[in-house]
Amino acid sequence: MTKVDKNKLKRYVSGNYSAQDERYIIERFNDKGSVSELKKHLKEDWKKEESEASKKDLSHVLEAIHTKIEPKPQSKLIRFYKVYARIAAILLLPLVILFVVKNISNNSTSKELSTTSIHAMNGSKVEFTLPDGTSGWLKGGSQLTYLTAFENRNVQLRGEAFFDVTHDEQRPFQVFGSESRIVVLGTRFNANMWPENNTTEVVLESGKVKFVSKNNEATILQPGERLVYQKQLAKTYVQEVKTDEHTGWVDGVLTMRGDNLRQVAIKLSDWYHVEVLVDGAYPEDYKFRATFKDESIEEVLRLMKLTAPITYKIQKQTKLSDGTYSKKKITLKMNNQ
């Protein structure tokens, strides 16, 4: 059973909610595992409000609904309202009225409330094209979610993706991560927004993007720049980079350009979405230079061992209590010279 954030649900029912709250509630209503939990909280809400229900005048809400409904007695919308009005008398009055008024006033359909998700399995990458023409690639283990109607051009990213955004000055394209967002008009960039990582990264290939942290501090990026946002410190750093070293995964190319063992471990962790650790000391001045294309992590490690004084150990994944599996864990060690 999926847990439901009661505060977000309360804000949504009261009408005092943010865009992030709305996305969260829509996701919960589309998640079968959340149904029982939603009913539980709504029943609790109803019991608290029951004593005051007779005092509340909802005629203005009903009038607003009736003025928006076409005068066809058997329209789908009227049948929808009659059915849910009966349910509301027992359980869902605040939520149903909010949904009906919101949807009618926007002349919307159920399609606008539904979401679409794109998943990329670990070890793969998925090419996508969004309804506005924006295209890109989703890295293995990542997920991209958006409202099917896509009128606001907002997407939720969990993982890493490369975007080639269609220009629309009137509707900026926004990518939401766990603690930040990226605002663009038309550009090509890479976004690394794994919620479990300590950092969020953006690498801009062309155009211009605005990165907005959770405390609403904005940073403008220019082409050839890489932004690193430290979540715990709420600090943002920008540096010039060779963008192909950060976007090469789209073409299946992994490059190492003078990286030491620690930097190699970080790069492999990010590339394959695994946990790579360094065991013991290592010479900082020993540099790795290599290019790999569409190779598995096992093959990369084997080739590195053939050409460098290192050993490695791969630990099997373990099944977690929620039914998922832990990340693959790899330990690198530099041999004594």
- Judgement on whether residues 201 and 316 belong to the same structural domain of the protein: no
Given a cut of 50, whether residue 184 has pLDDT beyond it is yes
- Judgement on whether residues 264 and 229 belong to the same structural domain of the protein: no
d(CA 288, CA 213): 34
Q: What is residue 35's predicted lDDT score, i.e. its pLDDT?
A: 65
The CATH number that applies at residue 320 is 3.55.50.30
As a whole number, the mean pLDDT across the chain is: 80
| Predicted structure pTM score | 0.60
Which of 43-47, 147-151, 203-207 is most confident?
203-207
- Judgement on whether residues 281 and 229 belong to the same structural domain of the protein: no
In a domain? residue 1: no
In a domain? residue 49: yes
- Judgement on whether residues 84 and 185 belong to the same structural domain of the protein: no
Domain end position, chosen among 245, 279, 297: 245
The residue segments making up the domain with residue 330 are: 252-334
Task: Give the mean model confidence (pLDDT) for residues 256-263.
Answer: 91
For the chain, what is the domain count? Answer: 3
CA dihedral sign of residues 270, 148, 8, 38 = negative
Q: What is residue 90's predicted lDDT score, i.e. its pLDDT?
A: 36
Given a cut of 50, whether residue 321 has pLDDT beyond it is yes
* Per-residue pLDDT tens over the stretch 38-54: 677 766 766 665 555 44
- Judgement on whether residues 44 and 147 belong to the same structural domain of the protein: no
In a domain? residue 22: yes
- Judgement on whether residues 228 and 284 belong to the same structural domain of the protein: no
* Per-residue pLDDT tens over the stretch 84-99: 444 444 344 444 444 4
- Judgement on whether residues 65 and 93 belong to the same structural domain of the protein: yes
pLDDT band, very low/low/confident/very high, at 31 (cuts 50, 70, 90)? low
- Judgement on whether residues 297 and 318 belong to the same structural domain of the protein: yes
- Judgement on whether residues 236 and 301 belong to the same structural domain of the protein: no
The CATH number that applies at residue 238 is 2.60.120.1440
Residue 235 CB partners (closer than 8 Å, separation 6+) = 229
- Judgement on whether residues 158 and 80 belong to the same structural domain of the protein: no
In a domain? residue 133: yes
Domain end position, chosen among 191, 210, 245: 245
Length of the chain: 337
Domain end position, chosen among 206, 222, 245: 245
Q: What is residue 19's predicted lDDT score, i.e. its pLDDT?
A: 61
- Judgement on whether residues 275 and 314 belong to the same structural domain of the protein: yes
Q: What is residue 101's predicted lDDT score, i.e. its pLDDT?
A: 42
In a domain? residue 239: yes
* Of 45 and 263, more confident: 263
- Judgement on whether residues 121 and 222 belong to the same structural domain of the protein: yes
